[in-house]
Amino acid sequence: MAAPLVLALCLALGPSGIGFPDTATATGRAILMLRVNRVISGFVVGSALACAGMVLQAVLRNPLAEPYVLGVSSGAGLGAGLAILSGLSAASVFMLPLCAFAGGAATLLIVYGISAAGGRLSVYGLILSGVIVSAICSSLLMFLVATAPVEGMHSVMWWMLGNLQPASLELLTSIAAVIAATFFGILLMSAELNALTMGREVAHHVGVRTGIMLPLALGAATLMTAAAVSMSGIIGFVGLIIPHVARGLVGADHRRLAPAAAVGGGVFLALCDALARTVMAPVEIPVGVVTALCGGPFFLLVLTRRRRRGWIG
Amino acid sequence: MSAAMKTSAIEIEGLEAGYRDAPVLRGISCLIEPGEMVGVIGPNGAGKTTLLRALTGLIKPARGTIRLLGENLEDISARRRARLVGVVPQSVDTPMAFTVEEIVAMGRTAALKSWGRPAGRDRRIIEKALVYTDTADMRGRFFSELSGGEKQRAVIAMVLAQEPRIILMDEPTSHLDINHRIEIMQIVERLNGEAGVTVLMVSHDLNLSAEFCRRLVLVHHGRIVSDGAPAQVLKEETLRRVYECDVRVQCGPADGSVTVAPAPRLLPEHSGRGLRVHVVAGGGCGAEILRRLVLAEYSVTCGVLNGGDSDAEVCEALDIDTALETPFSPVGSEALARAMKMAGTADAVVVCGVPFGTGNVANLDLAEAAARRGKTVLILDGVGERDYTPDRAAARRFEELKALGVVMWESPADLVRLLPSALGPGPCLKRRFPFRLGTTSYIVPAEILPNVRMLADRLDDVEIVLFESDEISNLPSAEAVSELARIAREKDLSYTIHLPIDIRLGAADEAVRRASVEKCLRVMRLTRPLAPFAYVAHFHAEEGRSREKLPAADIDRWRGALDRSVKDLLSTEVEPAELCVETLAYPFELVEEIVARNRLSICLDLGHLLLYGYDVSDNMERYMGQTRVVHLHGLAEGKDHRDISKIEPVLLGSLIERLCVEDGVQRVVTIEVFGKADFERSMEVMAARRADAKVVAAAL
């Protein structure tokens, strides 16, 4: 696999110049350390978003599903906004991610609660209530931002645009641990995910305990998304498109698809981030811009060539 | 349950289930044995799919239990359940590009360890399923790109990979063309036959179900209304009631197949074009009838209705001319006069299931006026129970109407089927069979002559039932007889004379016997100018014993008396063969010898044989050679002389088949009913049988 090579290449890119930093000097070592942290965080976040997207696409049986479809991003955004504007985030580096995570998880619980209230959980109910709750969170956040002082507003906006530089090594390792654990959980349910793409009833008939598996899958996707968002803000595109591309490359069977999506998403985001900080150095472009701008055309090409293996309507 | 007893594959007991506020299944109990192939049929919304969903644990029963192979469904884990039951739904789709092989492998989901890939035994099972369903060649193709038939085959392979002992199918072939339909069913049949898998199939396709399932379960309104072999379940009467539409069921006597076809709907004789019908409705009970009548091209009028009534809205939407009264007011004279005018120009008046109260009971004037003018009036059976008038005025008026000879109907489908024959002359069956078809002279409540005039164009024979007692007699006058003879010559009509039924030709009292003989001879002399086809006589002996199997206390004495009576009757110019002895309550063996010795004929009465519990085919076989007259009538609620649709279709078919065999004996077949509705229904049955008779005649 070319993945380690690409990751190594990412280490060589940065606003301080192209090429590996000189490890002989203290500055060089510090720069390398920063770059390593950042590449790892890019990989972890990219993997998480791609896996979450993959799970949601399978469970909701919808090609437009992505990690943010159930309002997790808006909820996390609201949580982060509250943390920043209330000054809580200044207390500890863990405070902001924690608030964002709590916001995201709470949103899923609300969405799930609304759509399951009718007695039977329906996929359309999930998507619809996701969109509604998401809109409410966004407006609340917008209201907060609009009434906030200028510097607060700036911090919130910057957070929302997404930034892969981890606030601390501890934060990075704990987030990475959560994401890695969830990933293995998803691997374990890949056979059930396969069955769930045929709908709840067929899955039920082949022996999947849909009443447990569906919330578990949704929970896993949310956990990953919330963890990723809490560390790096809202980065779009990865979670939507990487699962499709991965499916085009290895097929729809989740036993192969999940690892492929994780590696693909991680490498892709790390690369995009490296480009983002190098291209216009010393100005750093928001990574979300790069993912869509550079990834878009490339993946369009891949998709049109191999669409047959991705989604078939 | 004792261990020695065989465990049923599916055991349903008092099952009630449904969705939140809507119970669908209302008490289903059913046993399905291992290796059975059972079809579940029923109209939309009957609860077929709900039953299937309950069986797979998709919905929880509100009451009752389900056991699969002896295990309580509630206690079975999802994995275990998947190994017991597989489900083939109407269609399966996945938006993702799984290959056929991957789809089939999903059947092993429950068997595999969490992240395991199928290997070893699992692999072999998948291969076997692929081969069995002939999908091995397309294993690498994308499931979503398959045709409907290929998809269903792949799904069956997936279900096979579960290695279930029971397979439930929910309309597995409804999206397929006939070729793939049969292909899929053959796979399932093979599975059932070779592997002994129990199959329960829900289907709308009655013919397919009848062909492939040895047992059918008919579900209606959440209950099982019929359960048995296809020929037992697929009966015209039952299907008509359950599906509320007219169907024809044909049984292939050779191979035991049963086919159901919709009855021809808007054939010229079923179209109401040019006919006017006035409908008495209200409160929404008429909507379906109004709609169906308009669809059948009748000119419909309606009223009196109150403005704002839901039926009035239907009338407005259907552009039906309606006599309206102001909302919430009792029917006034002005509106009633307008409705009267409408009903006056109508060919028939239909009374729907309206709840009658003091406000609208005046609408029954319309029906009564029409009935008194001899028009056809059709009333919903049981409408009298919806009487809310304080003095039961409506119920009483319904009784009066019934006495005037109205036609009762049971459902909208029934009404639409009855109307053409009730209105028009109905089917003509003159010279349509190898035998002479006839009926009685009491179809409409009038004298013999008007009845004969009405029947002369439609049938070959009329049975004139005569009676004569001290107070009342219906013996026709000499003029009437010559008029009857004239009609017979003109219309090629024959008469069968039913000798008075109160005669006691076998009476122990010689005076009674003599009087009976005298009475018969009088009738014979009177009707001689009609050159009757046959005289039908009852042979019972004593008053009050006509319905007992032993017609007299002393059988030998009875037979002696009969012998003398026969001799007396034959002393006139009557040919022995013209005298037909009717099968009645008495075992016919008792008089067999008298009939044979005197070379008399037999009148084989199918309705009586059924009523008194004799073996029809046995009697048919023994006596058909000597039979000159056959009486056809059905039984309903323990009463005979009902319309012949009540006769078992297979039995009726075999009788008609026998009657079509050319054996040198000319016969009269009399539909022995005494009312317009029974007569017209019977005529429809015979008209439908014409096709069969033709086929038989051609084959011979």
What is the ipTM score, two decimals?
0.85
Q: Which of A198, A254, A311 to mutate to test the interface with B (most CBs of B within 10 A)?
A: A198
Residues 38-97 of chain B whose Cβ lies under 8 A from any Cβ of chain A: 56-58, 78-79, 81-83, 85-87, 89, 92-97
- Fill in the DSSP letter of residue B48: H
Cα–Cα dist A149/A42, whole Å:
31
- Please name the amino acid found at residue A196: L
Q: Which residues pair with B258 in a beta bridge?
A: B251
Q: What is the pLDDT of residue A5?
A: 74
Q: What is the pLDDT of residue A204?
A: 92
C-alpha torsion B282→B287→B293→B297, nearest 10: 120
Q: Write the burial class of residue A30 (CB in 10 Å: 0-12 exposed, 13-18 middle, 19+ buried).
A: exposed
Q: What is the pLDDT of residue B3?
A: 44
Q: Work out the pLDDT band at A261, boundaries 50, 70, 90.
A: very high
Q: Where are the alpha helices (DSSP H) in chain A?
A: 3-11, 26-60, 72-86, 95-116, 123-147, 150-161, 169-188, 190-196, 200-205, 210-232, 238-250, 254-278, 287-306
What is the number of residues in chain B? 700
Kindly report the nearest CA distance between residue A162 and chain B, in angstroms. Answer: 31
A254 neighbors A232 (Cβ within 8 angstroms): no
Q: What is the pLDDT of residue B37?
A: 94
What is the number of residues in chain A? 313
B183 neighbors B149 (Cβ within 8 angstroms): yes
Cα–Cα dist A95/A73, whole Å:
17
B286 neighbors B261 (Cβ within 8 angstroms): no
| CA angle A266–A271–A273, rounded 5-degree value | 95
Residue with token string 């769930």:
A196
- Name the residue of chain A whose CA is nearest to B92's CA: A198
Q: Is B644 helix (H, G, I), strand (E, B) or coil?
A: helix
Q: B483: part of which helix (H) or strand (E)?
A: helix B478-491
- Fill in the DSSP letter of residue B332: P
Q: Where are the alpha helices (DSSP H) in B273-392?
A: 287-295, 310-317, 333-345, 364-372
Residue with token string 């059924």:
B610
Strand order in the sheet with B276-280: B321-325, B299-306, B276-280, B348-351, B376-380, B407-409
A302 neighbors A83 (Cβ within 8 angstroms): no
Taking residues A241-254, what's their average pLDDT? 88
Cα–Cα dist B293/B271, whole Å:
9
pLDDT in tens, A52-80: 999 999 998 888 888 888 888 889 889 88
**Sites in chain B below the pLDDT cut of 50:** 1-4, 266-269, 700
Chain B residues within an 8 Å CB radius of A260 = none
Cα–Cα dist B642/B240, whole Å:
18
Rounded to the nearest angstrom, the gap between the alpha carbon of residue A233 and the centroid of all alpha carbons in its chain is 9
B109 neighbors A194 (Cβ within 8 angstroms): yes
Closest by Cβ to A204, choosing from B56, B106, B117: B56
Q: Work out the pLDDT band at A15, boundaries 50, 70, 90.
A: low
Token pair, residue B81, equals 């359940």
Residue with token string 């065989």:
B6
User: Residue A205 and residue B86: Cβ atoms within 8 Å?
Assistant: yes
pLDDT in tens, B456-479: 888 999 999 887 766 667 788 888
Top-confidence residue, A15 or B422: B422
Q: Is the pLDDT of residue A85 over 60?
A: yes
| CA angle B329–B335–B337, rounded 5-degree value | 140
Closest by Cβ to B20, choosing from A119, A205, A252: A119
Kindly report the nearest CA distance between residue B178 and chain A, in angstroms. Answer: 25
Q: Write the burial class of residue A259 (CB in 10 Å: 0-12 exposed, 13-18 middle, 19+ buried).
A: middle
Q: B448: part of which helix (H) or strand (E)?
A: helix B448-456
Rounded to two decimals, the pTM is: 0.64
User: Residue A207 and residue B93: Cβ atoms within 8 Å?
Assistant: no
Taking Cα atoms as reference points, which of B384, B60, B50, B62 lies closest to residue B223? B50
A3-309 is classed in which CATH architecture?
Answer: Orthogonal Bundle (1.10)
Q: Where are the alpha helices (DSSP H) in B234-297?
A: 236-243, 287-295
Structural domains of chain B in order of their starting residue, each with its CATH number: 10-262 (3.40.50.300), 268-421 (3.40.50.1260), 427-699 (3.20.20.150)
Lowest mean pLDDT among A215-224, A273-282, B463-472, B565-574: B463-472
By DSSP bridging, strand B494-498 and strand B639-642 are unpaired
What does the domain layout of chain A look like in residue ranges? 3-309
b (16+ CB within 10 A) / e for B240-267: bebbebbbebbbeeeeeebebeebeeee
